[in-house]
Amino acid sequence: MTTAIQTQRRTCPICEGMCGVIVATEEGRVQSVRPDHDNVWSRGHICPKGTTLGDLHHDPDRLRSPMIRDRDEWREATWDEAFERCETLIHGVLERHGHGAMAAYLGNMIAKCFGLTRYVGEFLRLARIGNIYSSSTVDQQPKNLSCQLMYGDMWKIPVPDLDNTQLFVLFGGNPASSKGSIFAHRNVMKGLADLRRRGGRVIVVDPVETGTAQKADQWLGIRPGTDAALLLASVHTLFAEQLVNLRHLDGRLNGLEQVRELAVDFPPEKVAEFCGLSATAIRTLTREIAAAPSAVIYGRIGLCTQEFGTLSSWLIDVVAILTGNLDREGGTRWSTETAPHLLLTPPFPSDAPVLLGKTRVSGAPIVLGQMPAGCFAEEIDTPGEGQIRGLVTVAANPALSAPSAGRIEKALADLECMISVDVYLNETTRHAHVILPTASVLEQPHWDVWAWVFCLTSGGHYSPQLFPPPPGWVEDWEVILRLGALCGGAKNSDIDIATLDDEYFASLCRHVGIDPPIATSALPLRGPERILDLAIRIGPYGDRFGENPDGLTLATFKAAPQGIELGATTATVDTVVKTPSGKIELAPQHIVDDLPRLKAAMGRPPPEMVLVSRRQLSSMNSWMHNVDGLMRGRHRCTLLIHPDDAARLGIADNEPVSVASSEGRITVPAEITPHIVPGVVSLPHGWGHDTEGASMRVASRHAGANSNRLSPGSLMDAPSGNAVVNGIVVTLSPRPEHRPGDS
């Protein structure tokens, strides 16, 4: 007898590619995950990670029950028992130390989870947690800051209009691996190839000749951490050669004259050596941008997670503005979201000051409501008033992904209370007292929130749940609502999730000017689906609860398994900019104040060797190394090093090298390659799975080493508090004696 194979169309939730996939199942097991050529958005694009959604779901190491740790012993527990234990632990910390001793660490994957992403803001509000740490300060915080100050909204990050541009200049990003970031495109590499085919050009500015650079017209091998100087020299050149052309932005800016004046000190000749590029190269690049019929100037993680993250992130937009390439077809533009996100995941309040204060131990800036991840370890292990004693992590792995990773590991072991909402027992969650699992990607519906924020094509795709979670399962949004209430001081037995959900929903309705009873009666749903429906209905294409009878609702999308595309963005500078002046602020004081730090750095001799980070197509930060199918082939956790450096230091290909920084030391095999600037070495992050007590069997067989043991937490971009994980001074030595603990 043959059993029926069933198929379901859905969106891969792993990255911003938003690939439509067809999942074939038989008797509750995934047989295959194939590209969906009929998905209106992705049109058949897929990568190796997307084909492993079934492996992630069936992974025997994935947690399927709440876990409680008594000393070193883990045991499965019921949900009730787990929440009772959470109450005892959390309330113990509140009683002994007060609310100021609780912290949250929020991870990147929250953005990709249907429930977590829509409820994390309410979790924080209920929990009354002020110590908020997240992957944001090891990621895009400098860009959030520059956009908050320039446009009045931290999430109005301009997105490349790749399909319509004639020149693409890419700083510190490698879509050949990452598939694009803060930039959702159905296939960035094809988009770049198409651009070249229509006579346009692609220029990559990166210390590494990446997969993207190898497919570009030009690679500019810049020294890490020097982009701000290069961009200032570009601004200088634009003014000096009368190439400034504001086009439609004329009259919509403040600070033009100030920008001209501050760039006077940065002629190309003065920055060339610092950047490792010739003055001619900088001038030519600038003239090319100015002369192009349209140009995208785009910077990503290599620009944010470096010593001058905010200056560089700001200057990317300054150059775009000065050449009239912001808010323009073929330039960088803002999206129009079908289901607006800001109303759903309460962000940093727009009227709060960007700088909220200083951290307790080292006085680092608390910007846009975020404590710097670099301070996480010291805030746990330094005694005194306000010391963190209780922690909730949600989909985060700071033991691998945050700076001072070695110190974090030790600090976590000392907490009085640690609750993790996660799918694995890994390097971070092994320190928890309770782990509350969330459903697998196939056990949840999906509608990408954040990728659509960074997508210039409007649209949407709803993926229904494929498999039911185990019986009695508590959904992730219910888990974090309950945790929020517990941290807020409520007793577990008093918490009524339905009431909390209704109250939150009503507050969202009031926020968007809808009467909650109307909204509720029109919406029989609850949880994240009800919120998504609200967002679609009040969004630009929505039915507005009957006001626009032809408008869309969640039901419209549920009836369109291949997704719906709604056309190009309609956002403009006039609808987007929300600064107090109503104009784009070209020279925000908080950012300009950081220029002396750059000038000081330009006066220092360059370090002999610095380390940068890289991503790999078959990895996702730290958490996909347990998928066997992605781990075949050559070992990937290698140190890229230029042949000249390798020869000088006596380092041989494939042989172990000891890499040391002021923070720590690790040992990794060398990979000698000409595709990197001499004096720079590159390591992927997210490896180091040989930690005792973690339970990820595949990952531990391909452990690699944790590059963030080398990242000093004290290294920070001054205006934003963002971590510096690129441009770390390191020393290398060949064939070390392998020391235990080197990882």
Ligand X SMILES: Nc1nc2c(c(=O)[nH]1)N[C@H]1C(S)=C(S)[C@@H](COP(=O)(O)OP(=O)(O)OC[C@H]3O[C@@H](n4cnc5c(=O)[nH]c(N)nc54)[C@H](O)[C@@H]3O)O[C@H]1N2
**Binding footprint of ligand X on the chain (CB under 6 A):** 15, 107-109, 113, 135, 138-139, 171-175, 177-179, 181, 205-208, 210, 222, 224-225, 227, 300-303, 305-306, 395-398, 400-401, 421-424, 426, 428, 438, 612-615, 617, 619-623, 682, 685-686, 707-708, 711, 725-727
CB of 48 to ligand SF4, least distance (A): 7
Helix and strand element counts for the chain (H, E): 27, 29
DSSP letter for each residue of 340-387: -STTTS--S-TTS-SEEEE-TTT--EEETTB--GGGHHHHHHS-STT-
Q: Which does 17 bind (CB under 5 to 8 A by kind): ligand SF4, ligand X, Mo ion, none?
A: ligand SF4
Phi/psi at 10 (5° precision): -155, 175
Cβ proximity to ligand SF4, 20 vs 721, nearer residue = 20
- Which residues face 672 on adjacent strands? 641
Task: For residues 272 and 287, give the distance between their C-alpha atoms in angstroms, rounded to a whole number.
Answer: 16
Residues within window 426-455 making contact with ligand SF4, judged by CB under 6 A: none
CB of 183 to ligand SF4, least distance (A): 13
Residue 17: partners with Cβ closer than 8 Å, 6 or more residues away: 42, 45, 47, 50, 179, 180, 184, 185, 186, 187, 451
Helix (H, G, I), strand (E, B) or coil at 266: coil
Cβ proximity to ligand X, 359 vs 622, nearer residue = 622
Cα 119 to chain centroid, rounded: 18
Cβ atoms 86, 486 nearer than 8 A: yes
Which of residues 22, 36, 39, 49 is near ligand SF4 by CB under 6 A? Answer: 49
Q: How far from 86 is each of 183, 436, 476, 501, CA to CA, in Å?
A: 38, 10, 15, 20
Cβ proximity to ligand X, 505 vs 623, nearer residue = 623
CB of 188 to ligand X, least distance (A): 9
CB of 115 to ligand X, least distance (A): 9
Q: Which does 18 bind (CB under 5 to 8 A by kind): Mo ion, ligand SF4, ligand X, none?
A: ligand SF4
Phi/psi at 42 (5° precision): -90, -20
Q: How far from 264 is each of 100, 229, 257, 323, CA to CA, in Å?
A: 46, 12, 11, 18
By CB under 6 A, residue 14 contacts ligand SF4: yes
Cβ proximity to ligand X, 135 vs 148, nearer residue = 135
Q: In the block, which residue shows the tokens 């050559």?
A: 634
Task: For residues 502 and 616, give the distance between their C-alpha atoms in angstroms, rounded to a whole number.
Answer: 42
Residue type, 162: L
Task: For residues 544 and 527, give the distance between their C-alpha atoms in angstroms, rounded to a whole number.
Answer: 20
Cβ proximity to ligand SF4, 47 vs 402, nearer residue = 47
Helix (H, G, I), strand (E, B) or coil at 134: strand
C-beta neighbour count of 281 within 10 angstroms: 18
Cβ proximity to ligand X, 453 vs 573, nearer residue = 453
Tell me which residue has its CB nearest to ligand X.
302
Residue type, 355: L
CB of 136 to ligand X, least distance (A): 8
Which of residues 50, 200, 656, 713 is near ligand SF4 by CB under 6 A? Answer: 50
Which of residues 9, 10, 15, 682 is near ligand SF4 by CB under 6 A? Answer: 15
Q: Which does 225 bind (CB under 5 to 8 A by kind): ligand X, Mo ion, ligand SF4, none?
A: ligand X
Cβ proximity to ligand SF4, 17 vs 460, nearer residue = 17
| Torsional sign, CA 526, 529, 535, 537 | negative
CB of 330 to ligand SF4, least distance (A): 24
Tell me which residue has its CB nearest to ligand SF4.
50
Residues within window 107-146 making contact with Mo ion, judged by CB under 5 A: 139
Cβ atoms 290, 297 nearer than 8 A: no
Task: For residues 175 and 177, give the distance between their C-alpha atoms in angstroms, rounded to a whole number.
Answer: 5
Cβ proximity to ligand SF4, 15 vs 728, nearer residue = 15
Q: Which does 46 bind (CB under 5 to 8 A by kind): ligand SF4, Mo ion, ligand X, none?
A: ligand SF4
- Which residues face 680 on adjacent strands? 610
CB of 537 to ligand X, least distance (A): 27
Cα 701 to chain centroid, rounded: 27
Q: Which does 404 bind (CB under 5 to 8 A by kind): ligand X, Mo ion, ligand SF4, none?
A: none
Q: Looking at 43-51, 64-72, 160-168, 294-302, which segment touches ligand SF4 (CB under 6 A)?
A: 43-51
CB of 573 to Mo ion, least distance (A): 27
By CB under 6 A, residue 12 contacts ligand SF4: yes
Residue type, 105: Y
CB of 206 to ligand X, least distance (A): 4
Q: Which does 730 bind (CB under 5 to 8 A by kind): ligand X, Mo ion, ligand SF4, none?
A: none
Residues within window 170-229 making contact with ligand SF4, judged by CB under 6 A: 179
DSSP letter for each residue of 491-544: -GGG--HHHHHHHHHHHHHHHTT--HHHHHHH----HHHHHHHHHHHHSTTB-G
Residue 663's Cβ-side half-sphere holds a number of Cα atoms within 13 Å equal to 26
Cβ proximity to Mo ion, 131 vs 140, nearer residue = 140
Q: Looking at 16-24, 515-523, 656-664, 679-687, which segment touches ligand SF4 (CB under 6 A)?
A: 16-24
Cβ proximity to ligand X, 69 vs 615, nearer residue = 615
Q: In the block, which residue shows the tokens 């190309």?
A: 268
Helix (H, G, I), strand (E, B) or coil at 7: strand
CB of 625 to Mo ion, least distance (A): 17
By CB under 6 A, residue 47 contacts ligand SF4: yes
Cβ atoms 192, 179 nearer than 8 A: no
Burial class (CB in 10 A: 0-12, 13-18, 19+), 397: buried
Cβ proximity to ligand X, 308 vs 545, nearer residue = 308
Structural tokens at position 656:
């172990």
Cβ proximity to ligand X, 577 vs 699, nearer residue = 699
CB of 188 to ligand SF4, least distance (A): 9
Element (H, E) at 32: strand 29-35
Q: Looking at 11-19, 153-161, 580-588, 696-704, which segment touches ligand SF4 (CB under 6 A)?
A: 11-19
By CB under 5 A, residue 742 contacts Mo ion: no
Which of residues 40, 46, 238, 646 is near ligand SF4 by CB under 6 A? Answer: 46
CB of 252 to ligand X, least distance (A): 28
By CB under 6 A, residue 18 contacts ligand SF4: yes
CB of 17 to ligand SF4, least distance (A): 3
Cβ atoms 272, 278 nearer than 8 A: yes
Structural tokens at position 59:
């992974």
Binding interface with Mo ion (CB under 5 A): 139
Binding interface with ligand SF4 (CB under 6 A): 12, 14-15, 17-19, 46-47, 49-50, 179
